[in-house]
Amino acid sequence: MNYIKSIITACALSLIAYTNVQAQTADKNSNTKTEMKRTGSATFIFGKETPWEDLGDGVKRQILGYDGQLMMVKVQFEKGAVGKVHSHYQSQCTYVASGKFEFTIDGVTKVVSEGDCLFKTPDLVHGCVCLEPGVLIDTFSPMRHDFLKK
Amino acid sequence: MNYIKSIITACALSLIAYTNVQAQTADKNSNTKTEMKRTGSATFIFGKETPWEDLGDGVKRQILGYDGQLMMVKVQFEKGAVGKVHSHYQSQCTYVASGKFEFTIDGVTKVVSEGDCLFKTPDLVHGCVCLEPGVLIDTFSPMRHDFLKK
């Protein structure tokens, strides 16, 4: 009878130990996912607490709010800095928060400044040159997963 | 022989006439769609040329760029104006372009100002009160079809 009791106790202890290991692994995975920020930002994002990423040649950016289907990025340009010509599968909408920019979208070039907006449908080739230092608020749908750190 | 020639000529003329009608119908549909703005905005949207819609109680908005999956809206608030508590199926990301706002999102209240950002996942209940006059750049995915005029 004592032998059976010992076996049951051993089984119970093994089960508890196993459950703990599983729980710890789940926590670790959860933390890893949070750190990697693959699925979404915080709800409140404060500009002063958000890191700037220096992209070189007078351009830097902050990744603001996002989930899988929508991402907002703040991009700061020095005078003469270039947003090089490119295209992507996302729809992109850009708000000119300050400064002056010469935008070329699908072969059409125009100068825009504070309060203006640019809409780039998927695959549309676009680029810009900063004429006066300023800030663009770029939004993408779906999100730009390539902007998230590996 | 002349009889056959006449038939061929009649057929050719009918085909040309039919093609013209088809082309005109396509143009008309295309124009109608552009006027109704159901599918997308222009590529370049100039703030000074874009109408403001007065929503009353110190709030007005401009619909800037959009397609089916992404829409940007500029919203101007007078001091004390309220973005009433609501929710929707779209993801929403808001950039604070100027002013100061008290935002409540999913039961959490914080004060935000220029350079800050709010991310509201679908169905999250949110609202705001304007503490100092300012402008929000709201973006939605998918677009807010209910914002377009009927």
Quick one: tokens of B78? 């007078």
A-B contacts at Cβ under 8 angstroms = 140
Q: Is residue B28 part of a domain?
A: yes
Report the CATH number that the domain containing residue B89 is assigned in CATH: 2.60.120.10
Q: Is the pLDDT of residue A9 over 90?
A: no
C-alpha distance from residue A97 to each of A5, A25, A85, A148, B57 (Å):
73, 44, 21, 23, 25
Please give the tally of structural domains in chain A.
2
Measure CB to CB from residue A95 to each of B92, B115, B137 and give the nearest one.
B137
Residues B140 and B101 reside in one and the same domain: yes
Nearest CA-CA distance, residue A142 and chain B, Å: 8
Residue B73, classified by CB atoms within 10 Å of its CB into exposed (0-12), middle (13-18) or buried (19+), is buried
Q: Is residue A41 part of a domain?
A: no
**Do residues B83 and B108 share a domain?**
yes
The confidence score (pLDDT) of residue A65 equals: 98
Tell me, yes or no, whether A77 and A114 share the same domain: yes
Strands (E), A68-125: 70-77, 82-86, 91-105, 108-113, 117-120
Q: Which of A90, A145, A144 is nearest to A121 (CA)?
A: A90
What is the dihedral sign for C-alpha A75, B79, B140, A30?
positive
Same domain, A60 and A30: no
**Mean pLDDT value of segment B66-70:** 97
Give the distance from residue B19's alpha carbon to the nearest chain A alpha carbon, in angstroms.
Answer: 30
Q: Is residue B42 part of a domain?
A: no
Tens-digit pLDDT profile for residues B3-19: 666 655 554 545 444 54
CB A105 within 8 A of CB A93: no
Cα separation of B120 and B90, whole Å?
A: 9
Residue A36: predicted pLDDT: 43
Percent of chain A with pLDDT over 70: 75
ipTM of the complex: 0.77
Q: Are residues A10 and A64 in the same domain?
A: no
* Structure confidence at residue A93 as a pLDDT band (50, 70, 90): very high
pTM of the model: 0.77
Mean pLDDT of B76-93: 98
Judge if B26 and B51 occupy the same domain. no
What confidence score (pLDDT) does residue A68 get?
97
Is residue B91 assigned to a domain? yes
Q: What is the pLDDT of residue B85?
A: 97
Q: pLDDT category, B37, cuts 50, 70, 90?
A: low
Nearest CB to A70; choose among B95, B97, B139: B139
The whole-number pLDDT of residue B10 equals: 55
Tokens encoding A55: 């992209």
Nearest residue of A to residue B121, measured between CA atoms: A67
Cβ of B43 within 8 Å of Cβ of A124? The answer is yes
**Who's near B35: CB < 8 A, 6+ residues apart?**
none
Q: Are residues A68 and A26 in the same domain?
A: no
Q: Verify that A29 and A77 share a domain, yes or no.
A: no
Q: Does B135 touch chain A (CB under 8 A)?
A: no
Q: Find the domain containing B3 and state its range.
A: 1-36
Q: Does a cis peptide bond (omega within 30 degrees of 0) precede residue A133?
A: no
